[in-house]
Chain A
Amino acid sequence: GEDVEQSLFLSVREGDSSVINCTYTDSSSTYLYWYKQEPGAGLQLLTYIFSNMDMKQDQRLTVLLNKKDKHLSLRIADTQTGDSAIYFCAESNTNAGKSTFGDGTTLTVKP
């Protein structure tokens, strides 16, 4: 079945860039999403990219997609302490449109 993998932890200094990586197995994935989860809350959509795109930029966020390697990354420029959270990669495919989530990457931003 579909699988989405992420590294579990990332720690950066405030002001640095953060890069969170994700790999997925389903070649029929059509949408790839990044969600953010803050403590005690549900997931919130950060950004998404359609599978025929290579890159998408949205203010401090840059998403890169390498469809050949099934690799997705999220870059956060000028990372702030408020960016500390768990970030989930998710894919949605042609098989009934359900989303499969990675286990989440916990980003810690140190002042």
Chain B
Amino acid sequence: NAGVTQTPKFQVLKTGQSMTLQCAQDMNHNSMYWYRQDPGMGLRLIYYSASEGTTDKGEVPNGYNVSRLNKREFSLRLESAAPSQTSVYFCASSEIFRQGGNSPLHFGNGTRLTVT
């Protein structure tokens, strides 16, 4: 099992360019998440998908869109990249999304994005 796979690993964009970060999991998990990690700010949730067909905003959704393409895949799109979106982006999945807490998250290895 590969777990959670993210592509690309690295990306450099110019301000105003668009791109899509891809994420796929092979663990048959229901829930998927996109986080960004910035120095001194921990991980912040951008968007999540509790189950196939649903998506919801997290803590920092502005400037991003997501698509839950199927149960396996959850993509993150930057329509018009800004330098403030320079970060490391992590996709994660979990087995169950339920009231009372979610199961532990399984993370991909991240996409390191620089916007100049």
A42 pairs with B4, CB closer than 8 A? yes
A92-B101, A93-B101 known; A101+B107 contact, CB < 8 A: no
What's the Cα separation between A103 and B44 when bound, in Å? 10
A88-B43, A102-B42 known; A30+B101 contact, CB < 8 A: yes
Question: Distance (Å) between the CB of A30 and the closest chain B CB?
Answer: 4
The 7 closest A-B pairs by CB, nearest first: A42-B107, A92-B101, A30-B101, A97-B102, A103-B42, A31-B101, A101-B43
What's the Cα separation between A38 and B87 when bound, in Å? 17
What's the Cα separation between A49 and B92 when bound, in Å? 20
Question: Distance (Å) between the CB of A99 and the closest chain B CB?
Answer: 6
When distances are taken between beta carbons in the complex, the residues of chain B under 8 Å from A102 are 42
Additional A-B contact list (7), CB under 8 Å, known A29-B101, A97-B102: A4-B42, A30-B100, A40-B109, A41-B110, A94-B101, A98-B102, A101-B42
13 residue pairs A–B, Cβ–Cβ below 8 Å = A30-B100, A31-B102, A33-B104, A40-B110, A41-B109, A42-B92, A42-B109, A43-B90, A96-B56, A98-B33, A98-B48, A103-B41, A103-B42
